[in-house]
Amino acid sequence: MNDLRKRFEAAIMPNYGVPPVALARGQGCRVWDTDGNAYLDLIGGIAVSALGHGHPALVAAVSEQVATLAHTSNLFLHEPEVRLAERLLRLLDADGRVFFTNSGTEANEAAYKLVRRHAGPGRTYVVAAVSGFHGRTMGALALTGKASIREPFGPFGADVRFVTYGSADELRQAVTGDCAAVFLEPTQGEGGIVPAPEGYLAAARKICDETGAALVLDEIQSGIGRTGAWFQHQHEGVRPDVITLAKGLGGGLPIGACVGLGPYASAFRKGDHGSTFGGNPVACAAALAVLDTIEKEGLLDHVTDVGERLASGIAAVGHPLLAGVRGRGLWRAIVLAEPKSAAVEAAARDAGFLVNALQPDVIRLAPPLIITSDEAGSFVTALPAILGTA
């Protein structure tokens, strides 16, 4: 493993640093490194590996599609793309249209262009939230409310005004008839898995309705069953104008989607946007397998049940370093009383668990949706010793 890490450092740009583990294979919710050490994967590729590793449905769908037709470009249509778009619209229970991308940041780039196209020149700015994260390409980065990663790349060709996440009063003051859109996450993911306060999304919907601004919900981490519903906004009974998806949608294959509802379904005109690889047949086949499996295996209820067991188990751990747990479904934050998340991540890894030090005092858990109660319980059992070692 050390040799591979040295080769990585010599050949790969340094923006990721050098990861501490070199993974070789995975099966179910477990992965093995190149030295043969096994780990319970509680990161899931950052909420991507919805079906875990090597799931037969995903393997079969991808294998069959790549042997049949691997790529078409956007010059030709193919059935998996159409089927997937139709399926997403049924799950959203909405009239709309879908634009497929390869990633979440591209989905948000598409959403940003879509709302600007619909708004026209009279609406000159958009509103987003402090600590929000929407991606690292220039348009999506302009919407990202984290100064440390945004400011080195400014100025941006966009007027983005940031408000405190969860403050309906600030949002109401910021959104006027000149505002094109409001970009929000139902739960701030990279910000620390911070759920919206009760009633906040409904207030955002009302404010957008009153001013004519679009409500764009970034469900790149929270969507596709992660919180126990197909999309987190369905828990709140709030319908966005535009929704962006990625991560868990492909179960490990790169795919994203920008879904426009109502008038935003047809705001793009011919030639307004495009992607050579977006809607790739193999990625679409993978996404259809993910959606089929979630439905057939009843994983939405499973996520709710196991997620509650995991959260209650963590909350019951009596340790001075543990300050609490938050989140929903299988998307949880362990909140620490001290900024020791890096040490906790390392101690968990030594104990055979992969977790993510998201913030100095926050550990992120986003395991595959298929994780069993016993697997989740094994982490809870090990947590006191992990915290004690950190």
**Enzyme catalytic residues:** 133, 218, 247
- On whether the CB atoms of residues 165 and 204 are closer than 8 A, the answer is no
Nearest to 364 by CA among 132, 143, 191, 145: 191
* DSSP 8-state code for residue 154: -
- On whether the CB atoms of residues 51 and 225 are closer than 8 A, the answer is no
Helix (H, G, I), strand (E, B) or coil at 265: helix
CA angle 44, 47, 51 (to 5 degrees): 60
CA angle 14, 20, 25 (to 5 degrees): 110
Phi, psi of 228 (to 5 degrees): 100, 0
Torsion 266-102-221-190 (CA) sign: negative
Neighbours of 160 (CB within 10 A): 18
Helix (H, G, I), strand (E, B) or coil at 361: coil
Long-range CB contacts for residues 344-348, cutoff 8 Å, separation at least 24: 344/386, 344/387, 344/390, 346/20, 346/390, 347/386, 347/387, 347/389, 347/390, 348/42, 348/382, 348/386
Nearest to 189 by CA among 384, 38, 44: 44
